[in-house]
Structure 1
Amino acid sequence: MGKLLVTGATGNLGRLTLQHLLDRLPAERLAGLSRTPDRAADLAERGVDIRPGDYLDHDSLVSAFAGVDKLLLISAQAFTDRNTQHFNAITAAKQAGVKHVIYTSIQRDDELGISQVGVTESDVFTEHTLRASGLTYTILHNPMYLDQLEGYVGADAYENGVRVPHGEGTMAPALLRDLAAGNAAVLTQDGHENRSYTLNGSQVASYRDIAAAMSELHGRPVPYLPVTADEYRDGLVHKDVPPPVAEFLTAWVAGVSLGSFSKHTDDLERLIGYRPTGYRDFLEKNYPAITPASEAPVR
């Protein structure tokens, strides 16, 4: 029986996926791909076969994918040549004899025609390439990451309100650890061949809903204060975010308001067999309530 290989083994999603797999399978069944294998020394110590490889080096991928049955292809970073990198990975997988490729795409609404800067066009290219390759495939459309909620609504939301581009679109963001559990499920289960899933957390919200939940949990009003996309971008630049990155982040945050992430399913819950963490659960644990003066700790 061939190995299961996870690319991006030193990234957040790849590392978490391998950790989930170690709870299910013997380490000798598992492999990880990394451009810098030394950074995965902890996984190697647990018995994971860490293999060097680079999406831009086709030959390195052919070598790394040898003896692999199932491959989790974690998408390359934005602002890079994702088309070339993903094409190399898919063609190398076929050349190496991989049977099944699972690709982590980003959720989108093709009918709305909203393009998420840096990823949508290359995701579409990659999905078409994978379907045309003759390989068995599974496509996992990832939502916004709940772990990064502060990056969407602002670290200063309690002081200045939730200031985001206007719109009533919704999202159901999910934790990376829950998405990693979904990856592990597809890698270790049958029945996911040539299928696509839209993955979500368990609770749906607009930015207005998030502001209301923060108000309730914090014990003080946190207003929803919609701004234009230009105002949001300019606010990031004012905080010393480089303009290209500010454009990228603004497109994602505005995409939620416009409806790019409004498709909600229970696909993730069915894959992992438990209720994924929702945004209110996350806020309760990570956005503390005001401590009344009478209960404040004595210093």
Structure 2
Amino acid sequence: MTLKYLIAGATGGLGSQVLSYMVANLPSSEYAAASSHESNRKRFEDQGISFRLVSYDDPSTLEAAFEDVENVLFVSTNTFDVEKRAKQHQNFVDAAKKMGVKHVWYTSLAFGGFKSESNVDVQRAHLMTEDMLKESGITYTSIREGIYTDAFPLFLGWYPESKTIYLPSDGPVAFTSREELGEATARLMIRGGFEKQIVLLTAQETITFTEIVELINETTGRDVKLEFVSPEDYVRLAGTDDIGGKPDAFFQTLLSWYEGISKGDARTTDPLMKDLLRREPTGAKRFIRGLLTQDQDYRWHQNYVK
């Protein structure tokens, strides 16, 4: 029996939102959840959701999971090891081609907009995967997802305890709600089309780090300072006794992100997300104000090593 949609990364922040939309809007026979952990099977099957084991490190699980699948959501792995990610992603693409998956929907990032010239470290890995998909000859769509508004503390280097934030530069970012990205991605897969294309899903406004700090202070009554320093001083200051326990190497990696943002790599917006949602996506200012109004000590999990 053909399966219409397989959601890889169904336990992750984005994949779970895509799956939730399908659960609410499609017959259960049309979709299935995929995860690299067999222990998640019961969790999904208890909800009446079919489950398939998918390990990006094990091609045999990929081939078994992709049998008779029409559309698969290909969620990027979360490793910072570029060589490991390249192998994992090649395994995924090869298995999808071998098993005849009709359409692969890859979750890329929005750095660089529609262009493929960004030198942001994390975006280079996505561009590498887009090249794999092109070279494979399979039908794919690369969905360049807007940078999560939810993750603003990570990009800003902000904690509820922060008195001063140090950054190497500023620039406009089209931050976008993760929940709405999940819904828009699901709607896009259901709509279909966009074969062998790059699409961009973003909210319609941008915000700078300076404006976010002003919003934090305005909403929470804090008096957080923002200082712009040299790249070398940023790594030293941010990495010294980081509340989240992140090492200097992490902040060194972030330098390419800030350089890209300062050059406008994160400023491009596109109306496709608005069209898919049939409403205006939530802008960063309203979203962040809402988060901080609900919880003045809002935290983002990736800001912490553990």
What's the TM-score, normalizing by structure 2?
0.84
DSSP-derived class of the 2:74 partner? strand
Quote the offset at 1:277 in angstroms: 1.8
Match of 1:11 in 2: 12
Match of 1:143 in 2: 146
Match of 2:303 in 1: none
Quote the offset at 1:181 in angstroms: 0.8
Quote the offset at 1:270 in angstroms: 1.6
> 1:205 is aligned with what amino acid?
I
Is the contact made by 2:120 and 2:259 (CA closer than 8 Å) also made in structure 1? no
> 2:119 is aligned with what amino acid?
S
Tell me whether 1:116 sits opposite 2:120 in the alignment.
Answer: yes
Is the contact made by 1:65 and 1:93 (CA closer than 8 Å) also made in structure 2? yes
From 174, 180, 191, the equivalent of 1:172 is 174
Is the contact made by 1:201 and 1:276 (CA closer than 8 Å) also made in structure 2? yes
From 275, 283, 287, the equivalent of 1:282 is 287
> 1:56 is aligned with what amino acid?
D
Deviations 1:68-124 (A, max 9, x none): 10011001123231211111111111111110001111122287954222x333322
**1:32 to 1:221, Cα distance in 2 relative to 1, 3 A:** same
> 1:233 is aligned with what amino acid?
V
Tell me whether 1:132 sits opposite 2:135 in the alignment.
Answer: yes
Is the contact made by 2:166 and 2:237 (CA closer than 8 Å) also made in structure 1? no
Quote the offset at 1:218 in angstroms: 4.1
Tell me whether 1:59 sits opposite 2:60 in the alignment.
Answer: yes
Q: Distance in 2 between matches of 1:37 and 1:16?
A: 20
DSSP-derived class of the 2:94 partner? helix
Q: Distance in 1 between matches of 2:123 and 2:159?
A: 29
Quote the offset at 1:32 in angstroms: 2.0
From 215, 221, 225, the equivalent of 1:213 is 215
Deviations 1:149-175 (A, max 9, x none): 1122233478535532223x2111112
Match of 2:302 in 1: none
Deviations 1:202-250 (A, max 9, x none): 3311212223333444456654422222233223321131233232344
Q: How does 1:1-299 map to 2 (within 5 A)?
A: 1-39=2-40, 41-80=42-81, 81-109=84-112, 113-117=117-121, 119-156=122-159, 160-167=163-170, 169-218=171-220, 222-238=224-240, 239=242, 240-288=245-293
> 1:106 is aligned with what amino acid?
L
Match of 1:297 in 2: none
CA RMSD of aligned residues (A): 2.6
Is the contact made by 1:106 and 1:143 (CA closer than 8 Å) also made in structure 2? yes
**1:39 to 1:262, Cα distance in 2 relative to 1, 3 A:** same
What's the TM-score, normalizing by structure 1?
0.86
> 2:234 is aligned with what amino acid?
Y
**1:37 to 1:149, Cα distance in 2 relative to 1, 3 A:** same
Identity of aligned residues (%): 27
> 1:280 is aligned with what amino acid?
K
Q: Distance in 1 between matches of 2:26 and 2:202?
A: 25
**1:37 to 1:269, Cα distance in 2 relative to 1, 3 A:** farther
Larger radius of gyration between Structure 1 and Structure 2: 1
Q: Distance in 1 between matches of 2:73 and 2:278?
A: 20
Quote the offset at 1:260 in angstroms: 1.9
Match of 1:294 in 2: none
Structure 2, unaligned runs of 5 or more: 297-306
Is the contact made by 1:171 and 1:264 (CA closer than 8 Å) also made in structure 2? no
Q: Distance in 2 between matches of 1:150 and 1:101?
A: 32
Q: Distance in 2 between matches of 1:6 and 1:112?
A: 26
Is the contact made by 1:37 and 1:50 (CA closer than 8 Å) also made in structure 2? no
